[in-house]
Structures are given as structure tokens and as C-alpha cells.
Structure 1
Amino acid sequence: MQADSQTLFFDAAWLGTGWARDVRVTLAGGQIAAIVADQAPRAGETRHGWAMPGLPNLHSHAFQRAMAGLAERAGPGADSFWTWREAMYRFVGQITPEDLLAIAAQAQVEMLETGFTRVGEFHYLHHDAGGRPFADPAQMSAAVVAAAQETGIGLTLLPVLYSHSGFGGQPPSAGQARFITDLDGFARLVEAARGHAAALPDAVVGVAPHSLRAVTLDQLAHVPALAQGGPIHIHIAEQVKEVDDCLVWSGQRPVELLLDRAGVDAQWCLVHATHMTPAETLALARSGAVAGLCPITEANLGDGLFPAGAFLAAGGRIGVGSDSNVRIDAAEELRLLEYGQRLDQRGRAVLAQGPGASTGETLLRACLAGGAQALGQTYTGLAVGSPADFVTLDSAHPALAGHRPESAIDAWIFAGGSSLVDGVWRRGRQVVQGGRHIARDAIAARYRATMAALLPA
């Protein structure tokens, strides 16, 4: 056995193909070195409940965690994503790199505590107040990296190219000043971000053209080279107004236009893709790209419902993300994904794969694979050679009373939620114990001080 190896004993473990009982897992070098089922626990061996892989969070704007609950008062007219966005612009002007470190760390603690083990940070808060560039163009990215170092979460950093305020290269607004960069500046920013991310043992750096509103088609053509083989993420077709504006400008719908002009393939993640025709849905599924769904945020902003049933039936790939971080809960993202389809279709178990299939396991399996792909990872689940990123459920929790492991994932998603998460391991290190992150108290105290300064009484 290697010097840095350890063994853990689980009463049961979900290995992708199904549940195994009495499982001993050997960890070494941040990976799973061996898995053996039907074992007897050894004297003194650490014993845990029911284990499953940690879930990727493929889309986050960490700084928006600080806005949670602050944008829920009705305005003088109809409220929508677009009125929420103006509130976000007003809020974002205050945030310093030190503030962002505190906010991102708090968000990442909450992600880990609910079962997310890697996050895709779609990061567009680049510059100082008023849009003044920092001497280090990736100073704000460095704050996100520092938060990941502190919390232990896996990080896929996605610096954002944001140049315009609307289709066809419209000039940016004053509220967007901290986001704006041109291609040359963006290339320097990405290079600097890669330097910061190198401090993490398994960070991935990709790129994110913000949206077809925020980049021109000419700019978009240069993005794949900047990705250097890493993930490419883009917001697309989130709002009906966006679709209508794109049609007026180009004569095509956003997803249609992107698929036609950008060579979308498995390297890409199309975030939201809410408003698609059946033809777009089929074409996106056939492209191999991942649809990045954020059910809590999409519900909060009134975006609409993604056509998940048709997309999955066509072989499409999906993952989930916490987006605005108005509420961070891995199980709730999966639950709302299914519940939205139930409300739309007026049925139950809409996304389950056939008679007798577990809805929860279907959702988890799809979002593990799709989320990993979107974040530049190869998904293998709890298997030899895979990263030692996993979650344990508290089998003694009342929400699991009377359950066997075979119904545990359904109970986690549809009944108990995040309160069932007992432990979380990242690269073989336990970062959540008894449902609490090991650094929660210090990180929460710093977050409270930061919020007191940002939002004085």
C-alpha cells in the first residue's frame, strides 16, 4: 500500500451500475485505487453510510451569492430577468477582490455541503470599480482560485469574453464597465488566469464568450483557439426577448445561429438553451454539446422550462448549475429539473428511463456525465482511477428511515435534500464532516463581515 493511501468502509456505495454493499475503498494520490464489495469492516477502520459520486456544478457566478434575497421586491412595472439584471449591475460596482474571495468561499462551502464537488465558475467580474483595469488583468480570477484553495472544491475556471451590450456589437452600458474587454485584453486575461489556476492540483481553465449579445460573430470565431482544448461555455436562449432580438438582427434564433456558425461540438456547454424549437432541440442533442441547466435560477428569474424530455430522448447531454446562487442545493437543482417537466407535461417520473427506473438515479447519472464533460473531466463515477470526489448520505437520517440503498438517491432528491449529506471528500480529503464544512465557521465569519461592509445598516 502506498504511503499516502487510506481505506474507507461504506455500508453501501452507488457504483453507477447499481448499489454494492459493505464496500471498502482504497484512496491514494487523490484517486480511487481499489474498490472491493461484500467485505467485513476491519477493527479501527473508519466506517461511513451510503456513498455516491459528488455532483459537478457546471455554472456559477460566485459574486451573485451576495445578492441572494435582495432582489425579490416588486418594481413599478413588470419584473423579469432584465429588471433583475439592472439590480445586479448596481450591486456589482462595490465588490473588491477581497470581497469576492469572501463571497466565493462562502458559496463554495455551501456547494460542498450539499454535494457539489467541482464548480464551473463563469467569471466576468474582471475590472476594478468604474471599469479600471487591475495591474494583473486576472486579479479577480485569482480571488476565485484562492477561495477554491481554501474550501477544497474542484475548480473549472471560465473567464468570460464580454464586449458589447446587444446583438451586432452594440456599445456596452455603464453598468457593464467591470466586465468589458476586447479580444487582445481577453487573451491576456486568460493567460494570467491560467497562471493563477496552476496553484490548484486539478484546476481546468476554459473560456466563455458571454452570449451572442455580448460578443460578435467575428470575435466568436477566435474563441476556440483561446480555449486551448478546454471547455467553451456560452449563455444562450435564456429569455424570449433574447430570441426575438436575435431574430430581428440576424433572421435566425440564437441556438440555430450558434450551431450554424460556431462549429459547436462536445467541447461546448450551452447554458440555459431554454427557448428552442423542436428542430433546434434535435440539432443541439446531435452536436454532442452539453445543455447547462440551472433550474433554481431559471425559476427565480422566470426564464421558462427547457425541453428536457425531448432533448434526452434525442440523446442529448445535460448537467446542472447553481448560476446566480440565490439558493445553493444540489438535490434541489435535480428536483426542480424533474418537477418543472412534471408541471409542463402533467405527469410523474417524466425523466425516468422506462418502467421501474429510478427517477433520481436517472437524473443523477445524466448530470454526473454531462456535468463532468462540461467541466473538462472524464466521468467514471466511483471507479478505480477516478478522482476521490464523493458524498456520503446519513443512513440514520429520518428521511431514510425504512429505506434500502436502492431508494436512497430518490429520497435525497425528492424528500430529504441537503440535510441528508453527511460527508464530502475531495481528492481523498474529507472537507465536510457531519454535514458541515471543516472551515465553515471562519469562512462564514469573514462573509458576514464582508456583507456588513457592502450592505451597511
Structure 2
Amino acid sequence: MTMLHAAQALTPTGWQADVRLTVAAGRFAAIEAGRAPEPGDARVAVLVPGLPNLHSHAFQRGMAGLAERRGPSSDTFWTWRETMYRFALRMTPDEAEAVAAQAYVEMLESGFTRVGEFHYLHHAPDGRPYGRVAEMAERIAAAAALTGLRLTLLPVLYRWSTFGGAPSTEGQRRFVSDLDLFARLVEGSGAALRDLPGAALGVAPHSLRAVTPEDLAAAAGLAADGPVHIHAAEQVREVEECQAWSGARPVQWLLDHAALDGRWCLIHATHMTPDETARLAASGAVAGLCPVTEASLGDGIFPAPGFVAAGGRYGVGTDSNVLVGAADELRQLEYAQRLEGRQRNVLAAPGASTGRALFEAALAGGTQALAAEAGGLAPGAPADCVALDGADPALLERRGDALLDGWIFAAGSRAVDAVWVDGRQVVAGGRHVAQEAVGARYAGVLRRLMAE
């Protein structure tokens, strides 16, 4: 049993002072406000629930910053993608596990306690399946087990290069599976999660570019009651090519043909009409926003004000992992809206804290999208929580919602002091407990990959 004491804690009923939390068997057994700390308590200044990271491609952490040299003409998502393909073709299973572990350490150190791994690096470098078809999924699970990050694994069905079932390209060979092989991948992915506390399994038809309508239906059928994630409307070119193929825009097509509901998460959904925005909000599906990656790739700006006004649910993810940070994603989401509308505090209700609005939306939307057990600092909930450093310059003399505003808009990851997942402390003093070993292994991998 572990005892925590927080000077301030964000509970489901709001901020409370002098909160003593009892942790047993990975859960909060009791939470008492107005209690003085006792000898042996782990004392923290500020305690909040851990956030879900609903969209990650872990292997891409190894190429962060490597696509920042301008080519002979204008650079776009599509030129970045060629760099990503070249990087993906080099990595062994051991190396993929090492890179994922580094990404997961950084996620935990920034305040994320669960990741949705949109996993499509399935096969050997020559494109042939491994002897254990889900070996790469097993490596993702191993990285999550090592670091303590909770995992929702989303094996990806990737069949074609573009709309209408065009043959895949050579650069996509490690991603591509037929339906029979994909069913085996899903089964093997489930087996890989068997010993991970709180793990969940879903499926991810990659995009309407990479699956046909028949593929989409087959993949969604393999999810059972689990989540279904899909990239949608990230790029203008994607929207134009979808219209040429089907006569409809990507989100419009999904709304008309895929029976979207609360199990679905549309990643990006950047380019939507007002009608699509309202319909997506009404469907109950989550919009999976990755603001840092969307800015990095020049994708565009999600129509958040209209979506939120219509009751839409959203969460945030780190996607390409070019920069890993819970606060960074929330801050970039709000700042993009400010630049678009030339206003401030866009995603908060009148008179409310923007940090609190962003935090609570991402917590609820990410929890739904990742089929995670409802959490929070409440009796019976999983003991997944983040302690913030009250001595950080951006948090000094703040109380209540001002702490979230200071973390998200003025401090970022440096304010994260400690993290517990499943009742086990995995970050102390801002550093993951396995940071040194994970970092050394990652450095060795990068030395080989960068030497090629």
C-alpha cells in the first residue's frame, strides 16, 4: 500500500486541498481531503490525473528532426513521407523496441500515462512476415511493459497506395497485409497484451487511401467492441483525391458509409466543411488531434470552435513524436486557433480557464478513444496520476485552474515532477526510473541507423 499526500489535487468534484490518497493493488482505495500528511506519505505539491496520448507512431521518434532540410521545391507532407519510408525500412525488431521505449519514457516524463499505438510497422525489411507475424507488436508491448506506460494497441490494416485499391509502393512493403494476414496480426497483437495491466486492443484501417470500403468493413469487424481509429482528411490533396475517387470528401464518406459512433476515432479530421464538422460531433466519434505534428507537416488547422460548440469530443496525440509533450500538444491546439481567429482563449467557455478546458477535454476524449477504464483521482479508479512541481517558476503561488494554465502555457514538461501508473512510481524528480538504460540503448540504435 502506498500513501500520497497532495497540497492540491484535481478530483472529479474539482480542486481540493490537503488530499491524502491511499493506493492499493494499483487503484485508489481511499481519497480524503482536508487531511494533514503523515509520516511516510509521499508528498507532492499538485496532483492531477494522467493524460491519454491517443495517437502515436513510436518508431518515428528516431527520425525526429531529420526532415527539416528544404528540398529543391516546396516541401509537404508527401515529401516528408518519403523520408519516413526510408527510415522505416532500416529498423530491426530490437531497434524498433528500443526506439519505442525511448518515446514512451518521454511520454511518461511529460504527463501521459497511456498511449494509443497506431502500429503499422509489421513486417521484415524485405516485406515478408516474421515467423511470429505479430513480432513487431510484441516489441511495442515489451516497450510499454518496460516503461510502465499503459497501452492501447491498434494494429493497422494497410493494403493499397491510394484510393480505389491502387497497388502499394515499394516503400510501403513493411506495412502491407492482406485480410487473412491482418486477422492473424490482430490475434497475435491480442496475445502480446495478455500480461499488460489495463491494456486494450483495437484496430486501425490506416486511411481511405490505404483500404477499400470492403477492407474497412472487414477490419472494423475484427475490433469486436474495441476502438476503431482511422486517418481522415489530414491533407488537402487527400480530400481532392477522395472526391475524385468517390464524389465525397473523406469525413463525409465515413459519415455516410461507416456508421461512426463512440468506438471510432478520426485522426486529424483537419479539412472539414461546417456540415461535416457538425455531423462528426453528433456521431459521438472522437476527433484525434495531433497539433504539433499537424503544424510540423503543414497539414492545416482543425475547426475546433465549431466542433466544440456542436458538442464534439476530442483528444490529443503525439503522432510522429517529433516533440513529445502533453502540455505541448494542448498549447499548440489552442495557439493554432488563436492564430486562425486572431483571438485569445478560444477553447474555453466565457470566464473559464483555457488550461482546464483543454485538459478535461483531452482526458475525456482520449479515455473514450483508447477504450480505457474511466479514471481520475477517485476511489476505485486506476492509480494513474501526475505530480507537478509547485516550485516551478510558472506554478509558484498558483492555485486551482491557474496551475493547469501555468503548466500548459508557461512550463511544459519541465513542470512534471513525478508519475505513477498502476500505483507504481515510474517518474521521480522529472526523470523516468529507467531513463539511463533506455537512453543508452536508444543511442546505440541511432548510431547504427544514422551511419547508414
Say whether the fold is shared (TM-score over 0.5). Answer: yes
Determine the structure 1 residue equivalent to 2:17: 21
What are the within-5 Å matches in structure 2 for residues 11-410 of structure 1? 11-355=7-351, 357-410=352-405
Aligned to 1:417: 412
Q: Percent identity?
A: 60
Aligned pair 1:435/2:430, yes or no?
Answer: yes
Report the Cα offset of residue 44 of structure 1.
Answer: 3.0
Determine helix, strand or coil for the equivalent of 1:431: strand
Q: How many angstroms does 1:224 deviate by? A: 2.4
Provide the rounded CA distance (Å) in 2 between the counterparts of 1:46 and 1:11.
11
Deviates more, 1:195-204 or 1:293-302: 195-204
Aligned to 1:456: 451
- Deviation at residue 380 of structure 1 after TM alignment: 3.7
Deviations for 1:90-109, whole angstroms, at most 9, x for unmatched residues? Answer: 11110010000100000000
Contact 2:18/2:35 (<8 A) preserved: yes
Cα deviation, residue 272, structure 1: 0.1
AA of the residue aligned to 2:82 = E
Q: CA deviation at 1:454?
A: 0.8
Alignment coverage as a number of residue pairs: 452
- Alignment deviations for residues 414-442 of structure 1 (CA, whole Å, 9 cap, x no partner): 00111100000000101000000000000
Structure 1 unaligned spans of 5+: none
Q: Deviations over 1:107-138 (max 9, x none)?
A: 00000000000000000000001201101110
How far, CA to CA, are the matches of 1:52 and 1:45 in structure 2?
A: 17
Conserved in 1, the CA contact under 8 Å of 2:205 and 2:220? no
Q: Deviations over 1:33-59 (max 9, x none)?
A: 111100111123221110000010000
SS at match of 2:364: helix
Residues 398-457 of structure 1: per-residue CA shift (max 9 Å, x gap): 221222233100000000111100000000101000000000000000000010011118
* Contact 1:16–1:365 (8 Å) recurs in 2: no
Code of the aligned partner of 2:231: H
CA RMSD in angstroms comes to 0.9
Q: Distance in 1 between matches of 2:271 and 2:401?
A: 35
Secondary structure, aligned partner of 1:10: strand
Offset from partner CA, 1:226-250 (integer Å, 9 cap, x none) = 0021110000000000000000110
- Matched residues in 2 for 1:219 and 1:26: separation? 47
Distance 1:406 1:231 in 2: 31
Structure-1-length-normalised TM-score: 0.98
Indicate the SS of the match to 1:78: coil
Q: Which amino acid aligns with 2:257?
A: R
CA distance in 2, matches of 1:423, 1:46: 10
Check the 8 A contact 2:355/2:401 in 1, yes or no.
Answer: no
Deviation at 1:31, TM superposition (A): 1.0
In structure 2, distance between residues paired with 1:378 and 1:205: 13
Letter in 1 for 2:143: A
Q: Partners of 1:262 and 1:43 in 2: how far apart?
A: 56
Q: CA offsets, 1:355-412, max 9 Å, x none?
A: 2x00000000000000000000243421111111000001112221222233100000
Structure 2 unaligned spans of 5+: none
Aligned partners of 2:40 and 2:430: how far apart in 1?
Answer: 22
Aligned 8 A contact 2:7 2:17 in 1 = yes
CA–CA distance in structure 1, aligned partners of residues 253 and 98 of structure 2 = 39
How much does 1:16 deviate? 3.5
Cα offset, 1:202, TM superposition: 1.4
SS in 2 for 1:399: coil
Does the CA contact (< 8 Å) of 1:50 and 1:405 recur in 2? no
CA contact (8 A) 1:58 1:374 kept: yes
TM-score, structure 2 as length reference = 0.99
SS in structure 2 opposite 1:333? helix
| Contact 1:210-1:235 at 8 Å conserved across structures | yes
| Secondary structure at the counterpart of residue 95 of structure 1 | coil
- Range that drifts further, 102-111 or 21-30: 21-30
